[in-house]
């Protein structure tokens, strides 16, 4: 069967937290995600969820792609293609919503290489993620 992309579902939350934990991400609260954790895309194949990501939509022409995560137990060789489909689908959603720019950040060399392959400009100078919980 082929890779497919769909909107996130409530049932995806049976897996997503464990994926982030396995990849050593901080605790991701649904309340900090678009549409309370449903504002994103899941890529799947043969009933197995493979990768997910979220798209923050702003009041400008810039959308933010973030929290890309993959199923650590999925070892098939098409993982790279699943991530490409995920990013391309999120990009298409942004285009359909009228956005002209997508920005994202990552430390993952694999995700950086995937973004480069898909035509994203990658600044090679180090930058830092800066955040503060205010509530």
Q: What is the pLDDT of residues 30-75, one digit of tens each?
A: 999 999 999 999 999 999 999 999 999 999 999 999 999 999 999 8
Say whether pLDDT at 133 is over 80.
no
Say whether pLDDT at 128 is over 90.
no
The answer to whether 57 and 88 are in contact (CB under 8 A) is no
Say whether pLDDT at 15 is over 90.
yes
Q: Is residue 2 packed enough to be buried (19+ CB in 10 Å), middle (13-18) or exposed (0-12)? A: exposed
Q: Per-residue confidence at 27, pLDDT binned at 50, 70, 90?
A: confident
DSSP 8-state class, residue 125: S
What percent of the chain has pLDDT above 70? Answer: 100
Kindly list the domain boundaries of the chain, sorted by start residue: 4-117
Q: Mean pLDDT across the chain, nearest whole number?
A: 93
Type and span of the H or E element at 82: helix 79-96
Q: What local confidence, expressed as pLDDT, does residue 127 receive?
A: 83
Q: How far apart are CA 102 and CA 125, in angstroms?
A: 19
Find tokens 């197995």 and name the residue: 48
- The CATH code for residues 4-117 is 3.40.630.30
Q: Per-residue confidence at 76, pLDDT binned at 50, 70, 90?
A: confident
Angle (CA) 59-11-24 rounded to 5° is: 75
């Amino acid at each position: 069967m082929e890779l497919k992309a769909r909107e996130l579902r409530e049932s995806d939350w049976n897996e997503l937290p464990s994926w982030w934990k396995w990849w050593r991400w901080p605790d991701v609260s649904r309340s900090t995600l678009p549409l309370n954790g449903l504002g994103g895309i899941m890529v799947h194949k043969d009933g197995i969820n493979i990768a997910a990501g979220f798209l923050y939509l702003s009041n400008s022409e810039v959308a933010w792609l973030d929290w890309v995560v993959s199923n650590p137990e999925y070892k098939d060789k098409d993982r790279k293609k699943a991530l490409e489909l995920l990013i391309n689908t999120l990009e298409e959603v942004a285009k359909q919503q009228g956005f002209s720019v997508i920005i994202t950040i990552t430390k993952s060399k694999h995700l950086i290489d995937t973004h480069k392959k898909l035509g994203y400009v990658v600044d090679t100078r180090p930058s830092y993620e800066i955040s503060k919980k205010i509530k």
